[in-house]
């Protein structure tokens, strides 16, 4: 316990004792010892009133001194002084917004960042941000590793601080590998998009539709009369054979024109 804390406790006990004495005086109807027994009792003794006035004067003097001191010192005013005062409670800096703490070399961090940039060759702003995250995570993980070594002393092991630094070390290691995997995936996707070539299949123009070809059907023949069939049998058979031959030759010409990619009119193929 410091002297300031002891003085504070002593003054608090004195205030409590005086407050209890005042309550006891107000509660009791008997006069103070040594005073004459009269019907009219005094509420406060002169000694008590004198002590109260002296205490009030001391309080007013202390307040005046504090007000005068506040005019001379209002805390740091320059950016350097404010930065120094902001680090009064700095312990390890693993969770602070300041990356470089006293005792570390900023040039070492810059060289680490430049080495990572030269190694991965970022092509976009996103890749540069990921590389910066990698450098920061690696820097903080190495600091946590150094602080772990400081937990082992000749007097024993500080298990509480050691467990804290182990958690910070694991956290920054995971952040480093996460940023690295994301960077490699982005670069792989970018290379695939650049080296992607067409498949080689070229769509052919569609040919215009061919005009419909009228199909030839052999006219249906009525059942002839067996008595008159013999006279006209020869002429009817020759007409049917001629019509069927013309139809077959027309179909042959159409198939040939399709196979050679032409669009000839099958009607030009006629029998000689």
Does the residue 218 lie in any domain? no
Does the residue 142 lie in any domain? yes
7, pLDDT greater than 90: no
Does the residue 110 lie in any domain? yes
Does the residue 73 lie in any domain? no
Burial (CB < 10 A; 0-12, 13-18, 19+), residue 18, is: middle
Label residue 176 by pLDDT band (50, 70, 90).
very high
Between helix 159-195 and helix 125-150 the angle, nearest 10°, is: 160
Does the residue 173 lie in any domain? yes
Q: What is the pLDDT of residue 266?
A: 47
Q: Say what the pTM is.
A: 0.44
Quote the number of domains for the chain.
1
Sole residue written with tokens 């009792």? 41
20, pLDDT greater than 90: no
Does the residue 146 lie in any domain? yes
Least confident range of 111-125, 147-161, 163-177, 186-200: 186-200
The residues, any chain, with a CB within 8 Å of residue 113's CB and separated by 6 or more, are 131, 132, 135
Does the residue 203 lie in any domain? no
pLDDT tens sequence across 73-107: 667 778 877 767 766 767 777 877 778 888 888 99
Q: What is the pLDDT of residue 186?
A: 93
> Looking at per-residue confidence, does 138 or 247 come out higher?
138
Q: Which of 29-43, 106-120, 156-170, 220-234 reaches the highest mean pLDDT?
A: 106-120
What is the arithmetic mean of pLDDT over 247-261? Answer: 52
Does the residue 139 lie in any domain? yes
Max Cα-Cα span within the chain: 179
198, pLDDT greater than 60: no
> What is the domain extent for residue 137?
106-188
Cβ count within 10 A of residue 25 = 15
What is the arithmetic mean of pLDDT over 136-155? Answer: 88
Going from the C-alpha of 119 to that of each of 109, 111, 137, 193, 243, the distances in angstroms are 15, 12, 17, 21, 85
């Amino acid at each position: 316990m410091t002297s300031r804390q002891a003085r504070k406790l002593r003054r608090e006990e004195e205030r409590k004792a005086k407050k209890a004495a005042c309550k006891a005086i107000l509660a009791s109807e008997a006069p103070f010892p040594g005073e004459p027994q009269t019907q009219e009792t005094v509420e406060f003794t002169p000694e008590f009133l004198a002590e109260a006035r002296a205490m009030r004067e001391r309080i007013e003097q202390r307040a005046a001194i504090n007000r005068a001191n506040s005019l001379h010192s209002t805390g740091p005013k320059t950016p350097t002084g404010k930065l120094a005062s902001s680090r009064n409670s700095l312990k390890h800096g693993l969770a602070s917004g300041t990356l470089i703490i006293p005792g570390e070399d900023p040039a070492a961090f810059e060289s680490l960042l430049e080495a990572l940039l030269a190694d991965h060759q970022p092509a976009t702003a996103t890749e540069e941000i990921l590389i910066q995250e990698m450098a920061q995570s690696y820097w903080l993980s190495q600091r946590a590793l150094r602080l772990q070594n400081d937990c082992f002393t000749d007097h024993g092991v500080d298990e509480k601080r050691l467990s804290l630094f182990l958690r910070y070390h694991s956290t920054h290691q995971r952040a480093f590998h996460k940023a690295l995997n994301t960077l490699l995936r982005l670069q792989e996707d970018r290379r695939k998009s650049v080296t992607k070539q067409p498949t080689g299949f070229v769509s052919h123009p569609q040919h215009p539709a061919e005009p419909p070809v009228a199909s030839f059907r052999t006219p249906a023949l009525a059942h002839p009369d067996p008595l008159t069939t013999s006279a006209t049998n020869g002429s009817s058979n020759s007409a049917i054979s001629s019509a069927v031959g013309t139809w077959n030759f027309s179909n042959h010409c159409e198939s040939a024109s399709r196979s050679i990619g032409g669009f000839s009119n099958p009607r030009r193929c006629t029998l000689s």
